Amino acid sequence: MPRPTDHELFDLGDVVLQGGATLRGAQLAYKTYGTLNAEKSNVIVHPTWYSAWHDANEWSVGPGMACDPDKYFIVMPNQLNNGLSTSPSNTPPPYDGPNFPHVTFYDQVEVQHRLLTQKWGIESVELVLGSSMGAGQTYQWAVSHPEMVKRAAPIVGSSVTSEHNQVFLKSLRAALTADPVFDGGRYSPDALPTVGLRAFARIYAGWGLSQAFYWQREYRTLGFSSLEDFLVGFWEGYWLDERDPNDLLGMLWTWEHGDVGKTPGFDGDTEAALRSIRCPLLAMPAKTDLYFPPEDEVWASQFIPNGEVRVIPTIYGHFAGLGQNPADNEFIDRALTELLARPA
């Protein structure tokens, strides 16, 4: 899947990040589907997941679906660090490559908020949804802008990144940076640390899908002829496909440090942040997800006044929320349709 070019760029100007650094002349890449109505009352926001570009969200959009472009104005902002928005790979010195500053989920949502308010004058959002790191951004939207978000649907994600999930991420970082070519992030774009990226791919392969997925050799349904073909053809191919290592490590940091409790005003209190969410929030973890297990969402839900958890019954593990399996897509779409039908 080549890097998409069908997006637009919004000039953010200077962005002061939560950590203190200023990204000067930052840009947010986004794509929209459908038309903003005169009342500006038909907005859906759908941020991107780890390593992905906006096109990876398109499975959720279509006539007759919950995210119907004939009805809604759907905005898909690319997260900072993903290579299309301002990222290590496209920033000039001195904040280039490994010198790029850390970005939090709070920062991600603030720049998306600027896009919506400054570009279109949008004041309310019918639904924020997102998968995986997109779910982290969804939670953040609900906590950062309760005055604006009418409904939220975090899919295969969480409000705070669990320690087990962090161990996964730390193992990815350790494998990628073990490649000598990585050289502290000072590799040449013409000679990427492919040995480290292939190790990264194999680690990810074990976490991304469930035990049952592999037991049933479900990768054959996805068009792969054997386990090794799946590991090389899909997994290694994916991570070697124009995904920049410093960008990947930037997004990894955001994910690893995900916690709505870190929103200014909550002083690290995750439960208080969850209690502050005003809108209905429908969380959809996948039954067999190894790093965002349903338990994390059940835990969070107890603090959200209008929270609900609906577990996707699937063997696709984390991939259930990434548009890979028609049955899971349908489950999610039905739930989103129901959520959008609720008065808010």
Instruction: Let me know: does 71 contact 106? Beta carbons within 8 Å.
Output: no
Contact status: 214 vs a copy of itself (CB under 8 A): yes
What are the residues facing 281 on neighbouring strands? 152, 307
Contact status: 293 vs a copy of itself (CB under 8 A): yes
**Exactly one of 289, 296, 301, 328 is catalytic; which is it?**
289
Q: Which is nearer to a copy of itself, 206 or 261 (CB)?
A: 206
Instruction: Kindly write down the DSSP assignment for every residue of 244-271, as one continuous string.
Output: -HHHHHHHHHHHHT-BGGGSTTSTT-HH
Contact status: 261 vs a copy of itself (CB under 8 A): no
Annotated catalytic residue 46: no
- CA separation (Å) from 102 to 13, 229, 242? 18, 35, 21
- CA separation (Å) from 209 to 155, 247, 291, 320? 15, 23, 10, 9
User: What's the half-sphere exposure (Cβ side, CA atoms, 13 Å) at 210?
Assistant: 18
Task: In angstroms, give the least distance from the CB of 313 to a copy of itself.
Answer: 16
Contact status: 157 vs a copy of itself (CB under 8 A): no
**Exactly one of 132, 144, 276, 301 is catalytic; which is it?**
132
Q: Give phi and psi for 151, each to the nearest 5.
A: -155, 150
Annotated catalytic residue 107: no
- Binding-site string for a copy of itself from residue 184 to residue 213, where x marks contact by CB under 8 A and - marks none: -----------xx-xx--xx-xxx-xxxxx
Q: Taking each helix axis as running N to C, give the angle between helix 163-177 and helix 245-256, from 0 to 180 degrees, rounded to the nearest 10.
A: 160
Judged by CB under 8 A, the number of residues near a copy of itself is 37
Return the structure tokens found at 219: 């990768």
Annotated catalytic residue 179: no
Q: Which is nearer to a copy of itself, 122 or 160 (CB)?
A: 160
As annotated, the active-site residues are 132, 289, 318
Q: Name the residues that contact a copy of itself, by CB under 8 A.
A: 162-164, 166-168, 170-171, 174-175, 178-180, 195-196, 198-199, 202-203, 205-207, 209-215, 217, 227, 231, 290-291, 293, 295-296
